[in-house]
Amino acid sequence: MAAPRVAGLTCPNCGAAITIRALQQTQTVVCASCHAVLDSRDQQLSVLQQYQAKMTYEPDLPLGTRGMIRGDPYEVSGFQVRSVRQNDTDYFWREYTLWNPYKGYRYLMEYDGHWCDFDITRAAPPEEVNGRQPFVRYDGATFRHYRTTTVTTEFILGEFPWQLRAGDRITSRDFIAPPRLFSEEVSPQSTVWALGTYVPAQAIWRAFGRPGNPPPARGAFFVAPNAHTPRAFRLGKIAAAIGVPVFVALVFRHLFAPRGSVFDTQIPYVAALALAVLPAFVETRRASKFEDARWAASDYAADEM
């Protein structure tokens, strides 16, 4: 990958040197020293926003960090902290714009230690409706509408191939088929779709050669895979493999055992049956609780569709 190009630009706000990596595509660049937001389509880099935020944030993947995503090298070129307000609480997450001179842009999002990798696409999949919940079909999966929110950009660093300032608001609609999701963002300028895939934090850390361990993922993230579902399925098969012969043996015992001794001889069979079925039952309950938690922050109930 080519080294970042320094075009001899300086920040009109503080005089610091400005580096622009994707000179042709970049529309907005943030001064690394004073955080002023600058218009990079203008030779003079006119100031779009002088003081962008009360708080500053440190990206987990620093600007300029390079990593391999799906076999291609990408460089972290932009960072934004975004928020959504729900029930009077603001929830914050982080997005990293990644750039490759031959492949273009993609981005990563991180919330509570959960990561998603996004491919940007202009083409929206056709939308259908079942009851009151819209959905889209893509690549053999049904992506159910999760929620519609107003997303606010709180803080930005680096450079962006579109106009962006702190305080900007867009309308976002998410459609999920865990571990994937479609995200639609509607701004006055454009409508953009992106297809995201859940990525374990360890994989991001490895891809970008980050030292140590990533912060642990917390909570039931809305597109995290439900680890209980495959476990419940495996335990269900074990339960059937053990439970069916035990049940058949129990029936035989019941029919052919001498009267009076039936109660004594049934106990080990019933116990074996319970032990075979219980783990599958518990894991199925956990899987269903996880789905309830997944859909808790959505516009729908877990079993709506």
Would you tell me which residues interact with Zn ion (CB under 5 A)? 11, 13-14, 16, 31, 34, 36
Burial of 294 (0-12, 13-18, 19+ CB in 10 A): buried
Q: How far apart are CA 164 and CA 20, in angstroms?
A: 15
Whichever of 53 and 249 has its CB closer to Zn ion, that residue is 53
Whichever of 12 and 236 has its CB closer to Zn ion, that residue is 12
Q: How far apart are CA 27 and CA 157, in angstroms?
A: 13
Q: How far apart are CA 217 and CA 113, in angstroms?
A: 4
φ, ψ of residue 9 to 5 degrees: the values are: -95, 145
Cβ 29 vs Cβ 77: under 8 Å: no
DSSP state of 252: H
Distance of closest approach, residue 288 Cβ to Zn ion, in angstroms: 53
Distance of closest approach, residue 9 Cβ to Zn ion, in angstroms: 11
Whichever of 156 and 235 has its CB closer to Zn ion, that residue is 156
Whichever of 30 and 195 has its CB closer to Zn ion, that residue is 30
Distance of closest approach, residue 16 Cβ to Zn ion, in angstroms: 5
Distance of closest approach, residue 34 Cβ to Zn ion, in angstroms: 3
Cβ 108 vs Cβ 115: under 8 Å: yes
Whichever of 10 and 130 has its CB closer to Zn ion, that residue is 10
Whichever of 17 and 186 has its CB closer to Zn ion, that residue is 17
Residues 6 or more apart in contact with residue 22 via CB below 8 angstroms:
77, 99, 101, 159, 161
Distance of closest approach, residue 124 Cβ to Zn ion, in angstroms: 38
Residue at token pair 């509607």: 186
Distance of closest approach, residue 76 Cβ to Zn ion, in angstroms: 20
Peptide bond into 179 cis (omega under 30): yes
Residue type, 102: Y
Distance of closest approach, residue 151 Cβ to Zn ion, in angstroms: 26
Burial of 266 (0-12, 13-18, 19+ CB in 10 A): middle
Whichever of 33 and 171 has its CB closer to Zn ion, that residue is 33
Whichever of 31 and 98 has its CB closer to Zn ion, that residue is 31
Distance of closest approach, residue 10 Cβ to Zn ion, in angstroms: 8
Q: Is 167 left (phi over 0), alpha (psi -120 to 50) or beta?
A: left
DSSP state of 136: E
Cβ 140 vs Cβ 177: under 8 Å: no
